[in-house]
Amino acid sequence: MDDEWICGRLGEDEPWVLGAVNPPVFENSLFTFGSAEELGEAIRNEDERYVYWRGTNPTVDLLQRKLAALERGERAKCFGSGMGAIAATISSRVSAGDHVLVLGAVYGPTTQFLRYLEKFGVTHTHADDLDGCARAVGPGTRLLYFESPSYMRYEVFDIPAVTSWAAGHGLVTVMDNTWSTPIFQKPLTMGVDLVVHSLSKYAGGHSDLVGGVVVGPARLIRPLALTEYQLYGAAMSPHDAAKVIKGLRTLPVRMAAHQERGLAAAAFLAGHPAVRRVNHPGLPSHPGHALARRQMAGFSSLFSVELATESRAEVAAFLDALRHFRIGVSWGGFESLVNAPALSVEESVRATMGVPVGLVRLSVGLEAADTLIKDLGLALEGAVAWRE
């Protein structure tokens, strides 16, 4: 199926839509049945039957069908947040005494959740590459978790090589694909077992919702939907599902625009003397560029730069000097955003992430590229003491 058709039309011509240009939002908290036997059968199959909002909902179900098709997976389960999806997915695959491998840098709260699991006897090890994974894997290792491109540093991993290695050790692989979206990368087709997303980012696209999803084979999604999803209570609301459905309609064209503007800003920064390094896999200078071109169809607009400074004051001055980039967390909406780990993350966590003081993360939005580039240039000129 074509991605644009999935985003815009899949499931939207069915009889229950009644010809409406927007699918209905089912606000009811429960569904009733004609007999006690029917109710019992529905509860036993609550991942597929509408019983109670905490289980599933027709509006959420439509979104799940679209996301599963986009990722080329059998099933999808949407959550009330990206961390809801990540926490439930990891929990579904581990028990006390198990071990998780984390490849590369991952979203900070993901690491925090893994640390939280330590009190239940689940341990984890971070590794920079497959050689590090080989040294850390043990008889209790059950799961390999990673992002590609990786968090903050945007390193690119050879996904088929990672999944082949993990399969050889009997590990389930979970990959966060939020950066690329299914428009630019489809990890399930490269051997990944489960894919997670924050739908708050590009999928929603308008900074007006929080949501998450896990996509994969039915044999892995169904038990997760019947247990962790139900018990954690991290249900997605039908209103947020409806917003994501609308966001998906423009996702292909928005991602093309994000790619264009992001690469323009990255190329400008790569040639600026106040910048030591630009971490954007879409640039030919990036160490993983050739690999990214092989396994990705395009590049999003989230990347980081390393300013030519070790001064937190200069990093703060750069952020404060920007006028079109707003200072804030999250990304993937219309507005351009900037953030700096050295100013917002405690030192021990930043050291674990392996990011320097001068690292700044940029989310390039959908404003005019020339406007954003001028803003970056003026801010660098006045904030960073790069001249000799």
User: What's the pLDDT band for 352 if we cut at 50, 70, 90?
Assistant: low
| Residue 125 domain-assigned (yes or no) | yes
Task: Tell which phi-psi region holds residue 77, choosing left (phi > 0), alpha (psi between -120 and 50) or beta.
Answer: beta
- One domain for residues 223 and 289: no
Measured between alpha carbons, how far is 166 from 145 in angstroms, rounded to an integer? 10
| Domain stops at, among 248, 272, 290 | 248
Q: Which of 49-58, 208-217, 379-388 has the lowest mean pLDDT?
A: 379-388
Query: pLDDT-derived band of residue 20, with 50, 70 and 90 as boundaries?
Result: confident
Q: Please give the pLDDT value at position 388.
A: 44
Q: Domain boundary at 197, 224, 248, which?
A: 248
- The total number of structural domains in the chain stands at 2
Whether residue 200 sits in one domain with residue 67: yes
- Whole-number pLDDT of residue 350: 61
The reply to whether 306 and 274 lie within a common domain is yes
Question: At which of 248, 274, 303 does a domain end?
Answer: 248
Considering the domain architecture, whether residues 161 and 219 belong to the same structural domain is answered as yes
Which residues in the chain belong to E strands, given as ranges?
75-79, 99-103, 123-127, 141-147, 172-176, 194-198, 212-216, 275-279, 302-307, 326-327, 337-339, 359-363
Q: Could you tell me if 318 and 384 are in contact, meaning their C-beta atoms sit under 8 angstroms apart?
A: yes
Which residues fall within 8 angstroms of residue 253, CB to CB, at 6 or more apart? Answer: none
**pLDDT band at residue 346, thresholds of 50, 70 and 90?**
low
Q: Which stretch of 33-47, 70-84, 296-310 has the lowest confidence by average pLDDT?
A: 33-47
Same domain, 196 and 255: no
User: Is there a domain that residue 309 lies in?
Assistant: yes
How confident is the prediction for the chain on average, in pLDDT?
A: 94
Q: Could you give the CA distance from residue 237 to residue 54 in angstroms, rounded to a whole number?
A: 9
pLDDT per position as a tens digit, 261-300 = 999 999 999 999 999 999 999 999 999 999 999 999 999 9
- The CATH code of the domain that includes 338 is 3.90.1150.10
Q: Are residues 216 and 336 in the same domain?
A: no
Residue 198 is predicted with a pLDDT of: 98
Q: Which residues contact 325 (CB under 8 A, 6 or more apart)?
A: 336, 337, 338, 362, 372, 375, 376
In a domain, 18, yes or no: yes
Residue 104 sits in a domain whose CATH number is: 3.40.640.10
In a domain, 293, yes or no: yes
Do 371 and 222 reside in the same domain of the chain?
no
Asked if residue 377 and residue 241 are part of one domain, the reply reads no
Domain-embedded: residue 388: no
Instruction: State the pLDDT confidence band at 353, using cuts at 50, 70 and 90.
Output: low
Task: Tell me: do 223 and 285 sit in the same domain.
Answer: no
pLDDT in tens, 250-268: 999 999 999 999 999 999 9
Annotate 375-387 with b (16+ C-beta within 10 A) or e (fewer). Answer: bbeebbeebbebe
pLDDT at residue 74 tops 60: yes
Residue 62 in this model has a pLDDT that exceeds 50: yes
Structure tokens at 353: 């992430």
As a whole-number percent, the residues of the chain with pLDDT over 90 amount to 83
Q: Is residue 273, in this structure, part of any structural domain at all?
A: yes
Q: Provide the pLDDT confidence category of residue 12 given band limits of 50, 70 and 90.
A: confident
260 in the same domain as 124: no
Domain that holds residue 132: 3-248
Residue 277 in any domain: the answer is yes
**Which residues touch 233 (CB under 8 Å, ≥6 apart)?**
54
Residue 34 is assigned to a structural domain of this protein: yes
Residue 360 and residue 332 in one domain: yes
Regarding whether 137 and 38 lie in a shared domain, the answer is: yes
- pLDDT (tens digit per residue) in 143-182: 999 999 999 999 999 999 999 999 999 999 999 999 999 9
